[in-house]
Amino acid sequence: MSWRAGIHAVAAALAARRVRALWISATSRNPRVWALAEEAAAQEIPVHKAPQETLDRLARGIPHQGIVAEVLPPPRPDLRALVKALAAETNPVVLALDGVTDPRNLGASARSALAFGAQALIVPKDRSAHPDHPAAAKAAAGALDLLPVVVVPNLVRALEALREAGLWIVGLAGEAEATLYDAPLDQPCAIVAGSEDQGLRRLVRKRCDLLARIPMHPAAESLNVAVAASIALFEARRRRA
């Protein structure tokens, strides 16, 4: 079981019919909170009015806007199912995250992936934030309920499978000679982004067909991983327009 905190995250879970129970602030004056409570009641979902302390505890420190839901985790396709689904796409793009441990960055990246038309998000099982973390769901604003997320035991092997399926593997690296403009983002591709402090791991870098940097002002050392992923995904979307 997992949790959703905040209006957008709870609304997306309700739309997906995955909410098991709902807690709302007994003193909330937000009409959107009460509207979601009515929607939950219409779905015959238990709705509990609770004090602020209870909501804070259930939300585990995540800003909740007076509403928290217990939800069933969304179905997660495995890598084989993803590869099969990508074969049916004309020009797919996938985002993969390597070593991104902040769930807020994972959620924000998922939000951008959905916004710019990516077919899926891939994250490793270990040494990574998990897509079911409440903070990831909060930052994703519903994207994690709509975007296929594949959790893989080995990211390197997943990238190899994507290459065999015909996708270019493009890694984002600040020190790369090539820029994002040189990357084949107009073709089927997987964009791989690493953590801001560590970047891409050595074996992941070796599996990339191309390492590319985002052109930036010399005074800027780096970008947050979610921002970098968003820029790369937008460029891929622009090339396909």
Give per-residue pLDDT as tens, 125-155. Answer: 999 999 988 889 889 988 998 899 999 999 9
Averaged confidence pLDDT in the chain: 94
Q: For 59-85, how does the pLDDT look when each residue is reduced to its tens digit (9 = 90+)?
A: 888 889 999 999 998 888 999 999 999
The Cα-based distances of 28 to 147, 218, 228 in angstroms read 31, 48, 37
Using DSSP, state whether 21 is helix, strand or coil.
strand
The pLDDT value given to residue 77: 93
Range list of β-strands (E), the chain: 2-5, 19-25, 47-50, 67-71, 93-98, 120-124, 149-152, 168-172, 178-179, 189-194, 210-213
State which H helix or E strand residue 15 sits in. helix 7-15
Identify the bridge partners of residue 169 per DSSP, sorted by sequence position: 190
What single-letter DSSP state applies at residue 25?
E
Nearest to 97 by CA among 118, 117, 73: 118
How many other C-beta atoms are found inside a 10 Å radius of the C-beta of residue 184? 15
From the list 152, 158, 240, the residue with the least C-alpha distance to 204 is 158
Residue type (1 letter), 9: A
Quickly list DSSP for 134-184. Answer: HHHHHHHTTGGGTS-EEEES-HHHHHHHHHHTT-EEEEE-TT-SEEGGGS-
- 42-51, 194-203, 226-235, range with the lowest pLDDT: 194-203
pLDDT per residue as tens digits for the range 184-221: 999 999 999 998 788 999 999 999 999 999 999 988 87
What is the separation of C-alpha 5 from the centre of its chain, rounded to a whole number of angstroms?
Answer: 16
Q: What is the pLDDT of residue 195?
A: 87
Count of Cβ atoms closer than 10 Å to residue 97 Cβ: 26
| Structural domains of the chain sorted by starting position, each given as residue range(s) with its CATH number in brackets | 2-71 (3.30.1330.30), 79-240 (3.40.1280.10)
Both tokens assigned to 25: 């602030």
- Going by pLDDT thresholds of 50, 70 and 90, the confidence category of residue 241 is confident
pTM (2 d.p.): 0.88
81-100 mean pLDDT: 96
